């Protein structure tokens, strides 16, 4: 896949935890409401809730906050990246079941079918990439991430690795950042599943 072989480096260093968070609810974000309609936002909520639930299940510590679950997830991803096998450990069947709850319109605003007709990549002409573009107007690192996706046509090992760097700077209390992380890793999880099946057939 184009996104796999493209090695454009980028960064997703999204502010510091001590900065105030203006919007922590997806449905209340002005930018989210500017880019997406109500039906699409409901689907984004389904997707984000699924991702957050999965990382909480993976790092089940009594009374752990979502913030703590994200920190544990990032640490495991960092260790996974060092081995060269970035395994998100989200059951793909459950991910596909979640996808089935999304409208085709919402899905197409995020992903598009790749040339092989089976796998999917980020739709660089969809609303999600427009969301990244608009968020990037006020955040240079988001702009770099957006540009890397445009240049690669998808997420890639370059921006995948850089997403794992300096995760302590990610402001995961900001729901917009949670959404970017969720879509990033769900996309990667599908790419990984597709490649495993592809090589099994060789």
Quick: pLDDT tens for 92-121: 999 999 999 999 999 999 999 877 666 788
CA distance 1 to 198: 11
Closest CA to 121 of 47, 191, 193: 191
Please report the pLDDT score of residue 147 as a whole number: 87
Of the pLDDT bands very low, low, confident and very high (cuts 50, 70, 90), residue 13 is very low
Of the pLDDT bands very low, low, confident and very high (cuts 50, 70, 90), residue 201 is low
Strand partners, 120: 113
pTM here?
0.82
Burial (CB count within 10 angstroms: exposed 0-12, middle 13-18, buried 19+), residue 99: middle
Strands in 70-123 per DSSP E? 111-113, 120-122
CA distance 42 to 48: 10
Higher pLDDT, 157 or 12: 157
Quick: pLDDT tens for 77-91: 888 777 777 888 999
């Amino acid at each position: 896949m184009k996104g796999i072989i493209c090695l454009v480096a980028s960064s997703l260093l999204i502010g510091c935890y001590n900065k105030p968070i203006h919007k922590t609810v997806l449905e209340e974000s002005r930018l989210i409401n500017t880019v997406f309609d109500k039906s699409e936002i409901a689907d984004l909520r389904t997707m984000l809730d699924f991702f957050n639930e999965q990382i909480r299940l993976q790092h089940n510590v009594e009374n752990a906050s979502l913030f703590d679950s994200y920190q544990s997830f990032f640490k495991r991803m960092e260790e996974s990246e060092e081995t060269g096998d970035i395994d998100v450990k989200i059951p793909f069947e459950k991910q596909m079941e979640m996808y089935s709850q999304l409208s085709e319109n919402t899905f197409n605003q995020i992903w598009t079918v790749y040339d092989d007709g089976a796998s999917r990549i980020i739709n660089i002409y969809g609303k999600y990439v427009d969301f990244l573009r608009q968020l990037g107007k006020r955040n240079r690192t988001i702009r770099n991430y957006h540009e890397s996706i445009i240049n690669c046509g998808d997420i890639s090992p370059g921006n995948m690795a850089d997403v794992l760097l300096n995760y302590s700077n990610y402001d995961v209390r900001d729901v917009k950042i949670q959404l970017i992380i969720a879509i990033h890793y769900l996309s990667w999880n599908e790419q990984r599943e597709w490649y495993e099946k592809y090589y099994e057939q060789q």
